[in-house]
C-alpha cells in the first residue's frame, strides 16, 4: 500500500501536466479554473512558507536548547570529575600520603589540562587549623578584596553545612577588577565528622577552552558571562546569543554561546520561486515525497538485512541456542540445537518437561536440574548434563543460562547456550588412559635403564675377564707358562671381578636413589686416566687439552667415568662417518660455579630434529645401538646436580657434548676452598 499511493500521485500529476492549457483558444471557464487553481496553489505555497518559517524558527530554538543542554551537561560532568579528583587528593592528605611517593593521580580533563588548576592544597578543619599551610594563592585572594574573603568564608560554611563541594568567585583584584579565577572546596568527612577541605584555584577561561571540543568551537563562540556582563554581550550579539548555566554552587556564572558562520538561504525564498513556477514546485514536492518513501524503504531493507544477518549468524554457529519460559516450555531453538538433538524446530517449540531429547534413565535427574535453573539460573562454569540424540546415542553438553527479558524488563524465561562437549569428554578419557600407559612405560624405562646401565658397565670387565681366562687356559694347556707367571694374571682377574662387583653396587645404589660414593676429584688427572686407552687408537685422533692447574669437583668416580666413556665412545663412532679423517677433542670449560667437560668431533653432528630425542631412553641414531648410553649419561649428570648439553661445534663442525658439574674449589661465598690433600 505504501508503494501504490506515490505511483498514483505521479500518474495524476502526469495527466494534469498533459491537460494544462497552452493555447489562447481555450474557453474562459477553463481559464478561470486554471486561475483559481493557481491562486489556490499560491495560497497553499504562502501558507507553507509561513509554516516552514515558523518551523525553522522552532527548529533553531530547539537546536540552541539542545546545544545549551549538552554544554551544561558537559560542564557539569567535567567539574564533577574534578571534584572527585580533589576528593581523592583530600583522602591522601588525611592519610598523610607523601605526594612524592604516592602514585600520580590519573585525573579527569580539567586536572590534566595545563593552566586550569592554578593552585591546590589541603586546609584542615577546627580552631587549630593552620591556614598558612593552605596554597599561597588562597591568602593572596583573601587579602585582595573583602568580597573575596566573604565569598571564601561562605564557600567553607557551605561545604561544612551541606556536605558537598562549593565554589567561590569570580575573584577580584585589588582595584576591584574581576578575574577568571574561582575557588573550589571539596569537603572530607570521616565517620560523619568534618575533617577539612581540599582547595583548588581554577582558571575558568582555560577550563572553558579545555571543555569545549573542536567540533563545537568551529560553529560556536563560547566565553564566560555573569549577570552584569550578560546584558551588553547579548546586545552586541543580537538574538543569536544564548547562554548555558555552569551550575557551580556559590557562583552566578554562565557560558555565553554565539553561533558562527553564515546562515543558509531561508526556505520562504525558495518557496517564493516555487509559487511563481508552480509546476516545478509540485515536482519538488513529489520528489520530496518520493525521497521519504525511498528512505523508508532503505530503513526497511536495512532492518530486513539485519534480521537476515542475525538469522544467518544463529544458523552458522555450532553452539545450540534455546529459549524457554519459566514453566519449562521451549520458545525457540536454532538450527545448531536441532542438529545436536536430531529434532526439527517445529517438533521442539512448545514442548514442556520432560523434553524429548532427555535420556529415559536420567529424566528425574534432568527434571531437578532444570527446576534449579528456572529458580536461579546457572553459575559461571555452567551445567554439564547428557542429552540423547534422536537416533539414540548420548552426547555430553555444557549449558549456560541467561535471563530472557521483555522490552519492559520483565523476565519471561531463560536463554540457553548449549555446547556439545562430547569430543572434549572423550579426549579427557583418552588422556587419562594415555597417562596410565605413560606411567607404565616410565616404569619399564626405569627398569630398562638399570638393566642397560649394568650391561654397559659390566661389558668391559667381563670381556677382559673372559680374555684373561681364555689366554691363561690356552697357555696352561700348551705348557708355555711358568708358575710365577700365573699369579699376576690371576691378580688382574681378581681386580676385574672386584670392579664388576663395585659396578653392581653403584648401579644398584643409583637405581634406588641412595647416596653415591662421592669423592673430591681433579678433573685434569681424571680425564688423563680415563682417555689414556682412547688416545692409543690409530683410526681416530683423540686430542686432550687441559689447563695447568687442578680443577676440583665432587663426584662418584666410577659413574662419572662411565658417563665420559659413553660420550667419548659416541664421538669415536661418529667422527669417521663424515668422509674425512676422524678427530675428537676433549677440553674443560669454566662457568659460574660449574666445570664442563667438552667432547667434540668432526662427524656429521646431531640434527635439530634429534636434539630433543637423543637423551631419551631407547632412542638411537645408530642401527646397532641400544639407545641407553646418552640417557644414562644424563641420569648420572643429574644425580650429580649437573646437566649435559648438545650443540654443533664451531671449529670441527660435528657434535659438541658438554658435561657440566658443580665445582668444589670455591665456597658458597666465592672464596677458594682449602685443599684437603685429596
Q: What is the pLDDT of residues 388-433, one digit of tens each?
A: 888 888 888 888 888 888 878 888 888 888 888 888 888 888 877 7
Give the closest residue to 523 by CA, choosing from 672, 655, 657, 659.
659
Q: What is the pLDDT of residue 599?
A: 93
The predicted structure's pLDDT at residue 598: 93
Do residues 222 and 208 make contact, with C-beta atoms less than 8 angstroms apart? yes
pLDDT digits (tens, 9 = 90+) for 510-560: 555 445 678 899 888 898 888 877 766 657 788 888 877 788 899 888 888
Best CA proximity match to 319, nearest among 334, 308, 330, 341: 334
Residue 45 has a pLDDT of 67
Q: What is the structure's pLDDT at 293? A: 59
Convert the pLDDT of each residue in 258-273 to its tens digit: 877 655 545 555 655 6
Cis peptide, bond prior to residue 170, ω within 30 of zero? yes
Beta strands in 76-180 (DSSP E): 117-124, 166-168
Block means of pLDDT (10 residues each) for the chain, length 678 residues? 40 38 51 66 71 71 79 86 87 70 70 87 72 78 86 88 88 84 90 88 86 81 68 43 80 81 56 64 63 74 78 75 83 85 87 84 79 72 83 86 82 82 83 64 52 64 78 80 78 79 68 66 88 70 81 86 86 81 88 90 81 66 58 84 90 90 65 42
Closest CA to 657 of 579, 597, 591: 597
Cα of 310 vs its chain's centroid, Å: 28
**What are the tens digits of pLDDT across the range 658-672?**
999 998 865 434 445
pLDDT of residue 670: 44
Residue-by-residue DSSP string for 624-663? T--S-HHHHHHHHHHHTT-EEEEEE-TTT-SEEEEEEEEB
- The pLDDT of residue 10 is 37
Element containing residue 420 per DSSP (H, E): strand 411-420
Strand partners, 119: 201
Give residue for cell 543569536: 240
C-alpha 655/C-alpha 646 separation (Å) is 7
φ/ψ of residue 134, rounded to 5: -70, 165
Supply the DSSP string of 324-352, one letter for each residue: EETTS-EEEE-HHHHHHHT--HHHHTT--
Backbone angles phi, psi at 581, to 5 degrees: -55, 130
What pLDDT sits at residue 233?
37
| Residue 82 grid coordinates | 574534578
Please give the pLDDT value at position 659.
93
**Cβ atoms of 321 and 334 closer than 8 Å:** yes
Nearest to 397 by CA among 418, 423, 380, 381: 418
Write the pLDDT tens digit of every residue in 434-485.
666 655 544 445 555 566 666 666 666 777 777 778 887 888 888 777 777 7
Which of 185, 199, 222, 180 is closest to 72 using CA atoms?
222
Q: How far is CA 98 from CA 14, 88, 95, 424, 445, in A?
A: 84, 13, 9, 55, 63
Kind plus residue range of the DSSP H or E element containing 493: helix 483-511
Give the pLDDT of residue 352.
81
Q: Are strands 582-591 and 540-545 parallel, antiparallel or unpaired?
A: parallel
d(CA 467, CA 472) in angstroms, rounded, equals 8
Provide long-range contacts, Cβ within 8 A and 24+ apart, for 203-206: 203/115, 203/116, 203/118, 204/169, 204/170, 204/180, 204/253, 205/180, 206/113, 206/114, 206/115, 206/116
Amino acid at each position: 500500500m505504501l508503494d501504490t499511493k506515490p505511483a498514483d500521485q505521479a500518474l495524476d500529476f502526469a495527466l494534469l501536466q498533459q491537460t494544462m492549457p497552452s493555447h489562447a483558444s481555450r474557453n474562459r471557464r477553463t481559464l478561470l479554473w486554471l486561475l483559481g487553481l493557481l491562486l489556490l496553489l499560491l495560497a497553499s505555497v504562502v501558507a507553507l512558507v509561513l509554516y516552514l518559517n515558523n518551523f525553522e524558527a522552532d527548529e533553531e530554538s530547539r537546536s540552541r536548547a539542545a546545544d545549551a543542554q549538552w554544554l551544561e551537561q558537559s560542564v557539569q560532568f567535567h567539574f564533577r570529575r574534578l571534584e572527585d579528583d580533589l576528593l581523592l587528593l583530600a583522602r591522601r592528605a588525611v592519610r598523610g600520603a607523601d605526594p612524592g611517593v604516592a602514585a600520580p593521580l590519573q585525573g579527569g580533563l580539567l586536572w590534566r589540562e595545563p593552566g586550569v588548576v592554578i593552585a591546590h592544597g589541603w586546609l584542615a578543619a577546627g580552631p587549630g587549623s593552620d591556614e598558612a599551610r593552605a596554597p599561597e594563592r588562597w591568602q593572596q585572594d583573601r587579602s585582595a578584596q573583602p568580597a573575596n574573603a566573604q565569598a571564601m568564608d561562605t564557600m567553607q560554611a557551605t561545604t561544612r553545612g551541606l556536605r558537598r563541594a562549593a565554589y567561590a568567585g569570580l575573584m577580584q583584584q585589588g582595584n576591584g577588577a574581576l578575574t577568571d579565577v574561582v575557588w573550589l572546596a571539596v569537603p572530607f568527612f570521616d565517620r560523619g565528622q568534618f575533617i577539612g577541605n581540599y582547595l583548588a584555584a581554577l582558571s575558568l577561561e582555560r577550563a572553558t577552552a579545555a571543555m569545549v571540543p573542536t567540533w563545537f568551537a568551529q560553529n560556536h563562540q563560547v566565553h564566560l558571562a555573569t549577570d552584569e556582563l550578560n546584558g551588553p554581550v547579548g546586545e552586541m550579539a543580537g538574538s543569536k546569543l544564548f547562554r548555558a548555566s555552569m551550575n557551580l554552587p556559590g557562583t552566578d556564572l554562565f557560558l555565553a554561546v554565539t553561533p558562527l558562520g553564515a546562515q543558509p538561504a531561508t526556505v520562504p525564498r525558495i518557496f517564493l520561486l516555487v509559487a511563481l513556477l508552480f509546476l516545478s514546485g509540485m515536482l519538488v514536492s513529489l520528489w520530496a515525497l518520493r525521497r521519504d518513501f525511498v528512505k523508508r524503504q532503505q530503513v526497511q531493507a536495512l532492518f530486513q538485512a539485519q534480521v537476515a544477518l542475525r538469522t544467518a549468524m544463529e544458523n552458522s554457529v555450532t553452539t545450540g541456542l534455546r529459549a524457554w519460559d519459566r514453566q519449562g516450555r521451549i520458545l525457540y531453538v536454532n538450527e545448531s540445537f536441532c542438529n545436536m538433538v536430531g529434532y526439527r524446530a517445529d517438533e521442539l517449540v512448545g514442548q514442556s518437561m520432560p523434553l524429548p531429547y532427555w535420556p529415559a534413565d536420567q529424566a528425574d535427574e534432568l527434571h531437578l536440574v532444570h527446576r534449579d535453573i528456572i529458580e536461579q539460573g546457572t553459575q559461571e562454569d555452567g551445567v554439564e548434563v547428557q542429552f540423547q540424540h534422536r537416533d539414540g546415542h548420548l552426547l555430553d553438553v555444557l549449558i549456560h543460562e541467561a535471563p530472557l527479558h521483555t522490552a519492559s524488563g520483565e523476565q519471561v524465561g531463560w536463554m540457553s547456550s548449549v555446547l556439545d562437549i562430547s569430543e572434549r569428554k572423550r579426549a579427557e578419557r583418552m588422556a587419562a588412559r594415555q597417562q596410565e600407559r605413560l606411567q607404565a612405560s616410565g616404569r619399564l624405562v626405569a627398569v630398562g635403564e638399570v638393566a642397560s646401565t649394568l650391561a654397559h658397565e659390566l661389558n668391559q670387565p667381563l670381556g677382559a675377564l673372559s680374555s684373561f681366562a681364555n689366554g691363561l687356559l690356552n697357555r696352561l694347556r700348551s705348557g708355555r707358562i711358568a708358575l710365577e707367571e700365573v699369579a699376576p694374571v690371576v691378580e688382574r682377574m681378581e681386580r676385574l671381578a672386584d670392579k664388576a662387583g663395585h659396578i653392581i653396587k653403584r648401579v644398584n645404589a643409583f637405581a634406588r636413589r641412595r647416596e653415591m660414593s662421592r669423592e673430591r676429584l681433579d678433573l685434569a688427572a681424571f680425564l688423563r686416566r680415563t682417555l689414556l686407552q682412547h688416545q692409543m687408537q690409530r683410526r681416530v685422533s683423540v686430542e686432550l687439552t687441559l689447563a695447568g692447574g687442578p680443577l676440583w669437583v665432587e663426584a662418584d668416580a666410577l659413574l662419572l667415568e662411565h658417563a665420559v666413556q659413553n660420550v667419548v665412545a659416541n664421538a669415536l663412532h661418529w667422527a669417521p662417518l663424515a668422509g674425512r679423517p676422524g678427530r675428537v677433542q676433549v677440553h674443560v670449560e669454566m662457568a659460574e660455579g660449574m666445570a664442563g667437560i667438552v667432547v667434540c668431533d668432526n662427524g656429521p653432528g646431531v640434527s635439530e630434529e634429534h636434539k630433543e630425542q637423543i637423551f631419551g631412553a631407547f632412542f638411537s641414531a645408530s642401527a646397532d645401538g641400544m639407545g641407553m648410553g646418552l640417557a644414562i649419561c644424563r641420569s648420572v649428570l643429574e644425580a650429580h646436580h649437573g646437566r649435559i648439553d648438545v650443540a654443533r661445534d664451531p671449529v670441527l663442525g660435528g657434535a659438541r657434548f658438554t658435561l657440566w658439574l658443580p665445582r668444589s674449589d670455591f665456597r658458597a661465598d666465592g672464596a677458594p676452598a682449602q685443599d684437603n690433600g685429596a
